[in-house]
Amino acid sequence: MVKAVVAEESRLTIVEDRLAQSAIQSEIGLVIGRLSSPLDRGFVFDLIPTPPNDAGEAACSLVGAIKDDKKKGSKGKSPAVDSSSLVIDNDWVAEHARQVRRMLPGGVKVIGVYVWASETAVKNSTLMLCQAVKAVAEAAPLSVIDSEERLLVHICYSPRRWTCRNFFLTSNLTSNSLRPSDFKMGRVLTSLQTYKCIYNFDMRLPVSRASNVQRLIDVIRNGISIQADVLKDAKAMIDGNLVVSAPSTLGDLHEIELLLPFLKNTSLEACRQKEVDGIVVFRGSVCSFAYLNSKEPISEAVTEIKGDIITSLQSRLDIICDEVDADKEAHDVHEDANEVASEHVSQLFLHSLRKQCNLSFPRRVFIPWLADMYICDYLQPSETTAVLKEHCTELMSMEASMDMTTVLEPEKEALSLSAESFWDVAVPFQCGETSLEKKNRDDGTITGSNATSSSKSSGINIMMAVFVLILAVIIGFVFLFMMGS
């Protein structure tokens, strides 16, 4: 349980000034930060307002008014009654949380909801606020083993004050679901440490005829689950030293290297006795960042890095699925009665494939955010960094005047995935040229040049061996001739 919450004073002051200068009576948004179990403390980095929905309507509005309760025939006048309450679009706030979660690195989470409203409006809307917090928690879980706790930050404008309450997801949605928490402002961002990791993987996922997994997208999802299981047992080295039970580390930036255990490929072992129709090759590199308080143990940093790697892979898959759904909706609107839509490669049934197909995942880029922190976004192969401004402005409420030259692109190549027949992978030298070899040849990459030089080197070695053999035979005949004479 979080016993105290510390918020970044510089960021919350900016939010308070913006709200005070505006004419809006209510606003709702996301609380971005971290809930630290080892320290029993919560850290608030920033507050992100939820943008208007597609119809231009605010996600939170105030209904009701202050009424004068005046009895007929009485000389006196009773005090005004404030019956105002909040109306919240929970689905839209949850969708905002889902998309923001994709842009957050390791150690940075959507930990709750904030609301700007009067004290009375919040009291009259306790159930509505609890529903909003729960919807956000379901849309943006903290980790695989999710915490049962979230925060509700209330900014009251009459009188001006900040309050924070803890909400437990397992409790019933009543007025007692919210418990007061110690809330104060301080310097949070300057006490963070940065951890970075480059994770390389290359998987072969067989597709058996008896398997229930038929679509390519289902195979990918299964492959990500396998990666999650592998990472659980991975050891970590930080700055070249094996991670032990050290409580914390010194310095600002730390490099993490994951050491994977020697495991049998269980997916291949399971298919030995079955007929294999094809193999899905899933390979690439994932760049991961994590930010933690300097007092948190190293083990937490390793856990956050591992979780961020899996979350990043899942986010890329979700982006592809969202794109497919959007294309289907657009096609349903414009499609003629006799026209049939072409199936996206991720939706193809593997058993019906008769040729190799390829799918490139979005690549991860990092944008400067607060202090020395970075948030992330994902670019499709056809997109450039120009689209990042729109995403960051709308979802993260960042300034439109962003310097794109400061964007980090550590993943030079997007994650690649290909579905091939079994013999194309098992006996590659008997098959035609693969798409990867063709790409390397066309692009003139190191892999292509190495393959060419390797073949030339092999030819020279064979010629040298034949020459030495002939020379040895000649020397032998000469030696025998001299012995006979």
Structural domain of residue 291, as residue ranges?
A: 192-334+342-361+415-432
Please identify, among 170, 187, 204, the residue that sits at the C-terminal boundary of a domain.
187
pLDDT of residue 158: 79
In a domain, 8, yes or no: yes
Indicate whether 164 and 202 sit together in one domain: no
**Domain check: are 272 and 420 in the same one?**
yes
Question: Each residue of 61-88: pLDDT tens digit?
Answer: 998 855 544 444 445 555 555 678 999 9
Q: Is residue 407 part of a domain?
A: no
Q: How many domains does the chain have?
A: 2
Last residue of some domain: 139, 160, 187?
A: 187
Residue 28 lies in a domain: yes
36 and 162 both lie in a single domain: yes
Question: Residue 124: which pLDDT band, with cuts at 50, 70 and 90?
Answer: very high
- Does residue 378 sit within a domain? no
pLDDT at 343 over 70: no
Decide: helix, strand or coil at residue 74: coil
The answer to whether residues 196 and 57 belong to one domain is: no
Is 51 contained in some domain? yes
398 belongs to a structural domain = no
Domain match, 234 and 325 both: yes
Flag whether 102 is in a domain.
Answer: yes
pLDDT tens column, 244-303: 766 666 667 899 999 988 765 555 555 554 567 778 888 889 999 999 999 999 999 999
pLDDT band at 53 (very low <50, low <70, confident <90, very high): very high
Model confidence at 176: pLDDT above 80: no
**What local confidence, expressed as pLDDT, does residue 350 receive?**
62
pLDDT for the residue numbered 477 = 81
Domain contains 305: yes
End of a domain among 169, 187, 205?
187
One domain for residues 201 and 350 = yes
Residue 166's pLDDT band, with cuts at 50, 70 and 90, is very high
pLDDT higher than 80, residue 222: yes
pTM: 0.79
Q: Are residues 133 and 8 in the same domain?
A: yes
Whether residues 175 and 256 share a domain: the answer is no
Q: Are residues 43 and 163 in the same domain?
A: yes
Clarify whether residues 167 and 241 are in a common domain: no
User: Domain containing 46 — which CATH number?
Assistant: 3.40.140.10
- Does 24 share its domain with 133? yes
Does 172 share its domain with 293? no
